[in-house]
Amino acid sequence: MRRIVLALIVAVLAQGCWDRAEPRDLAYIMSLAVDRAEDGYTISAEVPLLASLGQGGGGQAGERRTMVLTATGATLTQAAEALGRLSPKRLHWGQLQALIVSESVAHEGLGPVVTFLLQQRQVRERTWLFVARGQAAALLEPEVGLVSIPAMGLNGLARFTPFHGATVTHLAWFVADWHADGIDPVSPLLEFDPDGRRRIAGVAAFANDRMVGALPADALRGYLWLTRHRGEAEAISCPNSKGSLVVQPWWIRQRTQIAQGSEVRITVEATVRVLEERCAISEESLSRQVAERARREIDAMLSWVHRAGVDAIGVGQQIHRQRPRDWAVVAPGWPRMLERLPVQVRVDVTIKLVPAGYPFSDREAKP
Amino acid sequence: MDAYLTVPRKLEHAVLALQERLGKAPDIVCRRLVIPALDHRPAALVYIKGLVHQDSVQTAILTPLQDHGAPMPPNLIRCWWELLLPASPLEMEKDLRSLATRVLSGEAALLVQGEGRALAIQIQDPKGRDITEPSSEPVLRGPHEGFVESMETNLALLRRRLRTPELSILKRKIGKRSQTQVALVYLRDIANPLLVQEACQRLRRVEIDILLDSGQLEELCNDAPFSPLPTMRTTERPDAVAANLLEGRLAIFVDGSPGALLVPAVLFDFLSPPEDYYERYHLATFLRWLRLAALIFALVNEPFYVAITTFHQELLPTVLLLRTAGAAEGVPLPHALSVLLMDIIFEGLREAASRMPLAIGGTLSIVGGVVLGETAVRAGLIAADTVLVVGLTGVAAFASPAYGAANSLRLLRFPLVLAAAIFGMTGLAVGTVMVLTHLLSLRSFGVPYLTPLAPMNRRDWKDTLVRAPWWQMTTRPHLTRSGDVRRQRRWARPRPPDDMSGGQG
C-alpha cells in the first residue's frame, strides 16, 4: 500500500508540468506582418519588452515598449521556426492582436496564412486582419502616440475607426465569409498617410481567399449603404444659395428581395442627420439630393460587383436565406451570374434632425 | 472502588470521610458549629473557599442556624432544615461520593452529628464576567447581548427570549475529572425527536477527562471527523440560538464556554449571520450573495491565478497579461511558489496579529502589510499582482461571517494551489470537483450539507440564496421534519388601510 501511494506521489510530482511557462518567459507576439520574400515569406513579429512594462507601468513617454523580430523562410512554418531561433523567450501566439499581410500575399490568397495561424495553439480567432499597401512589416514599426504598444494601436484603429464593423475583419469572420456561400470576405486596407501615421485607407475585396482589388472611393460608400453602416459625413450643396450642409446617415435599413425572373430588388431606407447647416434648403430637396447621391454610390458599388464578379455585399446570402431552393440551383454559377444580375435600387431618405432645433417648414417661409 | 458509600452517622467520621474524598487542600474549609435548635448537636460546614458566596455562608447558613435558639418540637425535627434554612435551595445527599462532587462544584455540605446524611446547600458564587457583546460576532443592528462562561446565565438569557413551556433543557455531566455541565436545549414541539435522540446518544458517547470548551465537544460529536469543514455552528448570541431553536435545531451549551453549538449546521448557515434577519431584506440578500461570492473567491482565486498565469496565458486580456508578465520580469520565484510563500507570510502575520496585545497589533500590521509587502515588491522579489491576489484572498476569506468555515476554506486553498501549479486549469477543475463532492457527501446530524441546494428544496430558498421579507417567511425551513411548521399566519404582508383616512378617524 505504501509503495502504491509513493508511486502515485512520484507520478504526480515527476510528470513535470510539461506545458508550464512563467509569463515572463514568453515572447508574446502582439502583431504579425507577412510579406512575400524572393523565395518564400518574411514574417515580422512585434513583441513587447516586458521590462519596460513592469512595476507601476514605468517607462517614459516615447520609450520603446516593443521590438520587431524578423525572419524569412520558404514556408510560413519555416519562417516561424527561424523566428523562434531568434527569440530568447518562447514564442506565444495567444495574444496576437493584428495580422497584416502585404497586397502581394493577399493576391496569392490568404488561405495558407490563416491556416498556419489557426494551427498555432492559443491563437485567438479575434485577431484583426489588415491588408497592407506596400510593405507589411513597415506598418508594425512602433509609433509614438496615444497607445504604448503599437499592436494595441492597430486594435484601436480597427475598433474605433468610422469604418468599424463594415470593413474590419476578424480572422474568424474572414474564414466564415470565405467558406460561406453567397458572400465574399473583405478586409481593411492599411497604409501610411503622408505624415507617416497608420490609417485605414479603404477596403480590399476577396474572391474566396484571394484579394481581387480595392474598392474605389464611391463604390466604398455604396458598400457602406448596402451593408447598413453609417460611414462618414458628406457635404451637400444647396441649390439656390452658397454654402453647404453636412449630413450623415444615422440609421439604415436594407432589404434585398428576389423578384420573379430572378431580378434583385434592393431597397435602402435611411434616416439622415444634419450635422452642420450653412445654407437654407427644403426638406424634400435635401432628402432628394441625399437619395440621389446614395443611389449613385450604390450603383457604383453594384457595377464594381458586376465587373469583378465578387459578392462582397452578400446578395447571394440573401437569396439563400429567402429562397433556399432557388439558391441551390444558382449557387454553382453564382459569380458568373452576378456579373449580369439585374438589380433595381430604391432609396428612401428621411431627414431626422436639424442642428438649431427648428423645423424645415420655418426655413422654407423665408427663401 | 466502593460503588455507594453513605455518609457516616458519627460527625467525626463523616468529616474525615468527606475530607478524604475531597483531598487535602488549603482551600477546603471545615467550620465546626453547634446547632442550638437541635439540642446543641455538633455540626460541620464543609465548603471550598472561593467557590461559594462568602456572604451567603454567614447570612444564609450560619446566622439562621445560630439564631434559632429554642429547641425544636419533636414532630418537626424530621424536617428541621426546612424551618432553619428556608432561604437557600438545598438537597439531601446520602452518597458520600456525590456529596464530594457537589462540594467541588461549589455547594456547601452541612454534616450533623447522628444524621447519616448531609445537606448540600447551593450557595455557589456565580463569579464571571458581565454580559457583553460578543467580539467575534458584532452586529450593528440587533441585540448586543452575548453569552458568558456561566451556563446558568446563558440559559437565563435564552429563557428571556423564549418564554415557552416547550423549551426543554436536558442536562448531563461530561468530563471524568472536570464534571462539566452540558445542556442540550430544544423546543419540544418543533425539534425532531430523532434528532434529539441522536444528539443525546452522541453526548453519551463522549468520555473525556476534561471538557473546557464547546470546541472540544464539537470535535467529539462531529459527523465527519476528518473533514476540515465544520458540521456544527458556534454562536455566542442568544438571539441566534433562539431563532435556530425555532427552526428545529438543537443547541448545546457547555458550562464555562460562551459558545453554544447549533446542530444541524449546513453550509448556508455559515453565510447568514443573525444581523441578516434584522436588516432590510434587500440589503441582507445582497450581502448573502456577496458572502457567497467571497467564499468561492477565497477558495479559487489563488489557484485560478496560478493556473492562468503559468498555463493559460492566452486566456488573460492582453493588457492584464502584459502587466502581469512585466511585473514578474526579474522576479526570482515562479508564480506558484511566490503565491504559496506570500500565503504563508500572510497566515504568519495573521497569527502574529491575533496573538499580540492590541497595542502592538497596529505596529505589526504596519510592519507586515506596508513594509514587508511594499519592500518585497520594490526589491523585485515578489510581483505586485501576487501580493494583490493574496491580499484579496485574505480579505475575501474573512468576509464569511463564520470564522470556522472561513478558516477551513483558507486551508483548502493550499492543495488547490498545488493542483493548479502542477496541472493548470485541469488541476483546479478536478480539485474543485473534489471539494464539491466532499461538500455533497457531508451530513450534519443527518442533514445534507448543501441543503437546500442539493437535495433541492425550493421552498427553503427563501432563506438561503435570498433573505425573503419576514412577511413571506410563513413556514419554517424543512431542515428536519418537525411538528409545528407554520411560523406566522399566511398573507402577513403589511399594507396601508384601503380607506386612507381610516387611520385618522
3-state secondary structure of A193: coil
Question: Hey, are the CB atoms on B329 and A24 less than 8 Å from each other?
Answer: yes
- Whether the per-residue pLDDT at B351 is higher than 60: the answer is yes
In order, the DSSP letters of B289-332 are HHHHHHHHHHHHHHHHHHHHHHT-GGGS-HHHHHHHHHHHTT-S
Greatest CA separation for chain B = 102
Give the whole-angstrom CA distance, residue B449 versus residue B270. Answer: 11
- Whether the per-residue pLDDT at A58 is higher than 70: the answer is no
Type and span of the H or E element at B128: none
Q: Residue A17: which of B331, B380, B422 has the nearest Cβ?
A: B422
A281: which residues sit within 8 A by CB, 6+ positions away?
A236, A238, A239, A240, A245, A363
**CA distance, residue A106 to nearest chain B CA (Å):** 27
Given its phi and psi angles, is residue B155 left (phi above 0), alpha (psi -120 to 50 degrees) or beta? alpha
CA B423 to chain centre: 39
- Whether the per-residue pLDDT at B3 is higher than 60: the answer is no
Q: What is the mean pLDDT of chain B?
A: 86
Question: Hey, are the CB atoms on A13 and B422 less than 8 Å from each other?
Answer: yes
**pLDDT digit string, tens, across residues A196-241:** 888 888 889 999 899 999 998 888 889 988 888 887 888 888 777 7
**pLDDT digit string, tens, across residues A114-136:** 889 888 877 777 889 999 998 99
**What confidence tier does B308 reach under pLDDT thresholds 50, 70, 90?**
very high
Question: Hey, are the CB atoms on A24 and B328 less than 8 Å from each other?
Answer: yes
**pLDDT digit string, tens, across residues B362-376:** 777 777 777 888 888
**CA distance, residue A50 to nearest chain B CA (Å):** 4
Instruction: Tell me, yes or no, if A53 comes closer than 8 A to chain B by beta carbon.
Output: yes
- Whether the per-residue pLDDT at A324 is higher than 90: the answer is no
Per cent of chain B over pLDDT 90 is: 33
* Residue B424: all three cell numbers together: 493548470
More confidently predicted of B261 and B138: B261
- Whether the per-residue pLDDT at B504 is higher than 70: the answer is no
Give the per-residue pLDDT at B249.
Answer: 92
Give the per-residue pLDDT at A15.
Answer: 57
Before B452, cis peptide (omega within 30)? Answer: yes
Give the per-residue pLDDT at B124.
Answer: 82
A320: which residues sit within 8 A by CB, 6+ positions away?
A181, A182, A327, A331
Question: Hey, are the CB atoms on A17 and B327 less than 8 Å from each other?
Answer: no
Q: Please enumerate residues of B whose Cβ is less than 8 A from a Cβ of A.
A: 309-311, 313-315, 318-319, 321-331, 334-335, 377-378, 380, 384, 421-424
For β-strands A66-73 and A186-192, DSSP reports them as: unpaired
Q: Which one of B309, B312, B314, B428 makes the best mutation probe of the A interface by having the most chain A beta carbons within 10 Å?
A: B314
- B475 CB burial (10 A radius; 0-12, 13-18, 19+): middle
Give the per-residue pLDDT at B7.
Answer: 86
- The 8-class DSSP code of residue B124 comes to B
- Whether the per-residue pLDDT at A270 is higher than 60: the answer is yes
Give the per-residue pLDDT at A366.
Answer: 46
Contact (Cβ atoms closer than 8 angstroms) between residue B236 and residue B134: yes
CA B438 to chain centre: 24
B250: which residues sit within 8 A by CB, 6+ positions away?
B184, B185, B186, B191, B195, B196, B199, B262, B263
Contact (Cβ atoms closer than 8 angstroms) between residue B46 and residue B117: no
Q: Residue B326: which of A12, A53, A123 has the nearest Cβ?
A: A53
Give the per-residue pLDDT at B352.
Answer: 82
Beta-bridged to residue A170, according to DSSP, are A128
End-to-end CA distance of chain A: 102
Q: Which one of B308, B322, B386 makes the best mutation probe of the A interface by having the most chain A beta carbons within 10 Å?
A: B322
**CA distance, residue B393 to nearest chain A CA (Å):** 21
Give the per-residue pLDDT at A57.
Answer: 47
Give the whole-angstrom CA distance, residue B230 versus residue B235. Answer: 13
- The 8-class DSSP code of residue B58 comes to I
Give the per-residue pLDDT at B62.
Answer: 85
Question: Hey, are the CB atoms on B321 and A95 less than 8 Å from each other?
Answer: yes
At A349, phi and psi to the nearest 5? Answer: -125, 135
**CA distance, residue A269 to nearest chain B CA (Å):** 39
**CA distance, residue A49 to nearest chain B CA (Å):** 8
**Chain B residues with CB inside 8 Å of A20's CB?**
310-311, 421, 424
SS3 content of chain B, % helix, strand, coil (to 5): 50, 15, 40
Q: Residue B329: which of A21, A54, A123 has the nearest Cβ?
A: A54
3-state secondary structure of A198: strand
Give the whole-angstrom CA distance, residue B286 versus residue A275. Answer: 46
Sheet of strand A234-237, all strands in order from the earlier edge strand to the far edge: A234-237, A244-259, A263-277, A343-353
Cα atoms in the Cβ-side hemisphere of radius 13 Å centred on B477: 27
Question: Hey, are the CB atoms on B314 and A19 less than 8 Å from each other?
Answer: no
Q: What is the mean pLDDT of residues B104-117?
A: 87
Q: Where are the alpha helices (DSSP H) in chain A?
A: 2-14, 50-53, 76-86, 103-108, 111-119, 150-160, 171-179, 217-226, 283-308, 315-322, 324-330, 334-339, 360-365
**pLDDT digit string, tens, across residues B208-249:** 999 999 999 999 998 988 888 889 999 999 999 999 999 899
Instruction: Tell me, yes or no, if A20 comes closer than 8 A to chain B by beta carbon.
Output: yes
**What confidence tier does B1 reach under pLDDT thresholds 50, 70, 90?**
very low
**pLDDT digit string, tens, across residues A231-263:** 788 888 877 777 788 888 888 898 888 776 668
Instruction: Tell me, yes or no, if A12 comes closer than 8 A to chain B by beta carbon.
Output: yes
Reported ipTM: 0.80
Give the whole-angstrom CA distance, residue B463 versus residue B487. Answer: 13
More confidently predicted of B501 and B310: B310
Contact (Cβ atoms closer than 8 angstroms) between residue B123 and residue B52: yes
Give the per-residue pLDDT at A357.
Answer: 53
Give the per-residue pLDDT at A239.
Answer: 75
Q: What is the mean pLDDT of residues B71-93?
A: 76
What is the number of CB-based contacts under 8 A between chain A and chain B?
Answer: 90
Measuring CA to CA, which residue among A249, A203, A247, A246 is closest to residue A230? A249
Question: Hey, are the CB atoms on B310 and A12 less than 8 Å from each other?
Answer: no
A130: which residues sit within 8 A by CB, 6+ positions away?
A98, A99, A100, A101, A139, A154, A158, A187, A188, A189, A190
**CA distance, residue A19 to nearest chain B CA (Å):** 7
Give the whole-angstrom CA distance, residue A318 versus residue A327. Answer: 9
- Whether the per-residue pLDDT at B505 is higher than 90: the answer is no
For β-strands B118-121 and B180-187, DSSP reports them as: unpaired
Give the whole-angstrom CA distance, residue B151 versus residue B135. Answer: 19
- A302 CB burial (10 A radius; 0-12, 13-18, 19+): buried
**CA distance, residue B406 to nearest chain A CA (Å):** 29
What residues of chain A, 103 to 142, have a C-beta less than 8 Å from chain B? 122-124
**CA distance, residue B327 to nearest chain A CA (Å):** 4
Give the whole-angstrom CA distance, residue A43 versus residue A50. Answer: 21
- Whether the per-residue pLDDT at A316 is higher than 80: the answer is yes
Q: Which one of B313, B316, B422 makes the best mutation probe of the A interface by having the most chain A beta carbons within 10 Å?
A: B313
Q: Which one of A24, A25, A152, A154 makes the best mutation probe of the B interface by having the most chain B beta carbons within 10 Å?
A: A24
Contact (Cβ atoms closer than 8 angstroms) between residue A344 and residue A265: yes
Per cent of chain A over pLDDT 70 is: 87
Per cent of chain B over pLDDT 70 is: 96
For β-strands A263-277 and A343-353, DSSP reports them as: parallel
Instruction: Tell me, yes or no, if A95 comes closer than 8 A to chain B by beta carbon.
Output: yes
Give the whole-angstrom CA distance, residue B26 versus residue B11. Answer: 21
Q: Which one of A10, A20, A47, A149 makes the best mutation probe of the B interface by having the most chain B beta carbons within 10 Å?
A: A20
Q: What is the mean pLDDT of chain A?
A: 83
